[in-house]
Chain A
């Protein structure tokens, strides 16, 4: 059965098995989107006729749910629907770019200062909205409440839409919009005065961003358990923040840093090999560990499954798979 979908003064037929997002894209209407999997939140719209379904609000913060916002990629019609783009004033804050700098050959650090209050937890992700209305998700790599700005690490994809904007247009004192935050991958402390559970964090490429945010947050909370970071890369030059992380491991006795490179050469400062295997070996005897996994979806999913099978409780596995756009 088909229903009607009202958008911008027009009405379109919508099939039950085609999402609101795909229905509008098929009509040639440009709705910002990326993962089409209900994760990145770039496809948010406001439902003004009918009700958002439960599935279309999974992971949204309470204020967004209350305003009838919905993920258009996960919204399927069970009745006639009407939607409109979010009212920018309600949903977004303006932020100025305060720094753009290279961390390695393909990763940029972008520091943003929100003009209004914008509460986030290190490790969560936000939607970055460019002046051309490109919306992408990025994870928070610092403690914004302490630093006074939000730090992101962005891997520049050749010809990527956001990547091109970043290379060509993003300049200090330019402005962007931010929405969010979202995500459950962050440090949760159970005890006053410092928790002692072991933490194992693993990621590839800019999967390091949320992990670094979580590590800083854990240390700021006085975490006393072991914190082991594994950063995987294909080539040595894909690693970044090596000196900074190495220094931190010298200063903090409970923090260890293991860079590992798949196509590396023996005898260098990193370990040669597969980050997944290293992590699986490391957690084999650490069943009570909290595990944090971020970055390439295949690797995150594979490590998650292996860790679970080796005995880590599902509720102790925190992760964000960086799903690419579809």
Chain B
């Protein structure tokens, strides 16, 4: 069973999306990256992000992540921001009662695309 299925599939993503996105918007270290984007679009994209981080079905490739974040790298996206994302991801999952072990796996999936997201 994939981690995505184990965590509860799409339903788990729906539950996590609002909590995670709320943490991101409320955190000044990263909220600036979400300023000029509409909320629904963002929520759809957060869902895509979480599905990916949970190891669920997605169509993203290293290249599409690279392209998708290139405009943010120009605005100064760095390792620190990726760390913040992983921090909020962990806190979100903890709130939902996910085990530390599974949280570590989610973090490692997110970490595995760090270079793509940062365009390195």
Interface set of A (CB-CB < 8 Å, partner B): 301, 304-305, 308-309, 311, 313-314
Contacts and interface: CB of A to CB of B under 8 A. Distances in A.
Nearest to A305: B39
B25 interface: yes
Interface of B: 17-18, 21-22, 25-26, 38-40, 43
Contacts of B38: 301
B43 A314 contact: yes
A305 B18 contact: no
A54 to B, nearest CB: 12
B55 to A, nearest CB: 24
Nearest to A317: B39
A284 to B, nearest CB: 15
15 contacts: A301-B39, A304-B39, A305-B25, A305-B39, A308-B18, A308-B21, A308-B22, A308-B25, A309-B22, A309-B25, A309-B26, A313-B18, A314-B17, A314-B21, A314-B43
A304 B26 CA distance: 14
Contacts of B25: 305, 308-309
A308 B22 CA distance: 7
Given A304-B39, A308-B25, A314-B43, 15 more contacts: A301-B38, A301-B39, A305-B25, A305-B39, A308-B18, A308-B22, A309-B22, A309-B25, A309-B26, A311-B22, A314-B17, A314-B18, A314-B21, A314-B39, A314-B40
B1 to A, nearest CB: 27
Nearest to B25: A309
A308 B18 CA distance: 8
A301 B34 CA distance: 13
A303 to B, nearest CB: 11
Contacts of A308: 18, 21-22, 25, 39
Which are the 9 A-B pairs with shortest beta-carbon distances? A314-B18, A314-B43, A313-B18, A309-B26, A309-B25, A309-B22, A304-B39, A305-B39, A308-B22
A252 B30 CA distance: 45
Contacts of B21: 308, 314
Nearest to A37: B38
B93 to A, nearest CB: 18
A311 B38 CA distance: 18
Contacts of A313: 18
